[in-house]
Structure 1
């Protein structure tokens, strides 16, 4: 029994309103609750123990503190992406090391933290403890707004590519070829724009292009595979997973440890979060910290390939069933 136009209109209106609420919540809620949550920092120097204890009591649960014997090892912790910042505590004063390339938002918070650790004698001479940026963000994008602005278009265009391939290419095998070609061309083109025109990312061009191509393959392949295996409803499933859930939790404009737990960690196991982390590692840290996000993108890419294969088998089974149901031609 078919529903009336009024009932369908009411259902669509209610569904659209609910979707709007979900989207606003998904995108605004994480940003509205940014705060350090076991943020990795290092304390080094002769007075490291006292400073670590003070920091623990002042901000319970905010920092995951480790101590290092000297400033050189603290710097290595930042360049290896083991920590976002370091406090160098010595009898002569307190200095803070940051890595704004890992997260400009975290670097700003550590700048404020440095002022809180200013010794009284520094205040008497109107001097603040030094803050040094060990791994700086790109000078053309010091706040990371351009970097964060790349995340949403990259994911949206990847989902759109999967939808176009689903609607325009009937054979699943050719859709898979389209995914690979789109990933290759999209990665090369996106990296050229990000590095050449906008100057948002340093690092080797081919490595940046490879990360973007890998991201496109993971998202487009998985969404196209869902559509092949589940039908067009798979497009909606992919869009919800990667756009409504993955993008807000990617921490592309902040850091996973600033998002409410456990959502920041969950976001790193979805392509948007893994892509942002991998891009930072390749562009600014010579690949340090790239293993896990690379494995995550590889896993999603493999899942997409498996779904495409299952979709191809589903299509062949449907064609065979249709052929069996077809009436035999009449004999003359």
Structure 2
């Protein structure tokens, strides 16, 4: 392939990546709607309200019926549902949790008018409110992308500039600790957009940084520089747009909303909400996801270490893309 052909191929490749990025980022936003969104309905008119909801949005809600208002409130605080509709004693009342998802809270608030059947909208109460400095959750949603991008950058730098497995591991641990502490110092201490315990939030941010950067560094250690591209594209083109950081997994096209929660960006957004707003309720699943990704990173680094140990001096030198990484 001559220079002109290579230039044309690279141009087409860049155009393809651009198209994929447009699809990945714009398609979920254009198709945002509730899909089996957990919602509680309780009270004497619960069957009638449930029927209205099914007519309003067929398949949009996964409706449960707590025993009473107290149980509905607890279900919201436990992150079992995104909101609740209380019937009996007049017009229905709507409980929301903007801390769980401002987008869902806004949609439930808009539904309150239709549910009331009266000129005045049904009463709406925010049981678990978002941070008052970020009531619409815009800053929170914007927080996830820098965490992912910095993790990608950290993984790339360690892969290209540190030649040993041990050195990469030390760099990853340093990045995770320092990155978590510094990022939450900025987000919570300076910007004040996320409540909750500082050290716990910093630990989550550090785990995310380690998982993302470690996956890239681990892939690069095992399969060379193509692993950097594979890891970066996975985190950026799949993980970030389907993280549901600005909405909810049940608001995205399926199964992508669920898949997004199995990748570090989605798990990070979910876990940070649990720690910041819900006193760790619902934290188990996203924490396990992040721990698995961190363990995968360590496993890849260990495989690279064993690969370098198994190399013999008689092996011919190969390109940097496939060279085993020294221990």
Q: 1:86 aligns with which of 84, 87, 93?
A: 84
Superposed, which structure 2 residues align to 1:202-213 within 5 Å?
A: 202-213=195-206
Q: Which residue number corresponds to residue 144 of structure 1? A: 137
* 1:100-142 residue CA offsets vs partner (Å, 9 max, x unmatched): 000000000001111110134xx2xxx3210000000000001
Q: Which residue number corresponds to residue 38 of structure 1? A: 36
Structure 1 residue ranges without an equivalent (≥5): 325-332
Superposed, which structure 2 residues align to 1:131-280 within 5 Å?
A: 131-280=124-273
Q: 2:294 aligns with which of 297, 301, 310?
A: 301
Q: Which residue number corresponds to residue 51 of structure 1? A: 49
Q: Which residue number corresponds to residue 9 of structure 2? A: 11
Task: Work out the CA distance in 2 between the residues paired with 1:291 and 1:318.
Answer: 41
Task: Work out the CA distance in 2 between the residues paired with 1:314 and 1:218.
Answer: 22
* 1:193-245 residue CA offsets vs partner (Å, 9 max, x unmatched): 01011111000000000100110111111111000001010000001111111
Task: Work out the CA distance in 1 between the residues paired with 2:313 and 2:98.
Answer: 58
Q: Which residue number corresponds to residue 288 of structure 1? A: 281
Residue 160 of structure 1 aligns to a residue whose secondary structure is helix
Moved more, 283-292 or 162-171: 162-171
Task: Work out the CA distance in 2 between the residues paired with 1:314 and 1:54.
Answer: 61
Find runs of 4+ consecutive structure 1 residues off by over 6 angstroms: none
TM-score by length of 2: 0.95
TM-score by length of 1: 0.93
Structure 2 residue ranges without an equivalent (≥5): 318-327
Residue 87 of structure 2 aligns to a residue whose secondary structure is strand
**Deviation at 1:323?**
8.6
RMSD: 1.4
Residue 132 of structure 1 aligns to a residue whose secondary structure is strand
**Deviation at 1:40?**
0.5
* 1:266-306 residue CA offsets vs partner (Å, 9 max, x unmatched): 00000000000000000000000000000000000000000
Residue 59 of structure 2 aligns to a residue whose secondary structure is coil
Residue 39 of structure 2 aligns to a residue whose secondary structure is strand
Task: Work out the CA distance in 1 between the residues paired with 2:313 and 2:76.
Answer: 59
Determine if contact 1:187/1:213 at 8 Å carries over to the other structure. Answer: yes
**Deviation at 1:92?**
1.6
Determine if contact 1:221/1:305 at 8 Å carries over to the other structure. Answer: yes
Task: Work out the CA distance in 2 between the residues paired with 1:321 and 1:114.
Answer: 74
**Deviation at 1:321?**
4.0
Structure number with greater Rg is 1
Q: How many residues align?
A: 318
Q: Which residue number corresponds to residue 328 of structure 1? A: none
Residue 87 of structure 1 aligns to a residue whose secondary structure is strand
Task: Work out the CA distance in 2 between the residues paired with 1:34 and 1:323.
Answer: 54
Q: Which residue number corresponds to residue 108 of structure 1? A: 106
Q: Which residue number corresponds to residue 320 of structure 2? A: none
Residue 202 of structure 2 aligns to a residue whose secondary structure is helix
Q: 2:308 aligns with which of 301, 305, 315?
A: 315
Residue 286 of structure 1 aligns to a residue whose secondary structure is coil
Task: Work out the CA distance in 2 between the residues paired with 1:55 and 1:37.
Answer: 12
Determine if contact 1:278/1:293 at 8 Å carries over to the other structure. Answer: yes
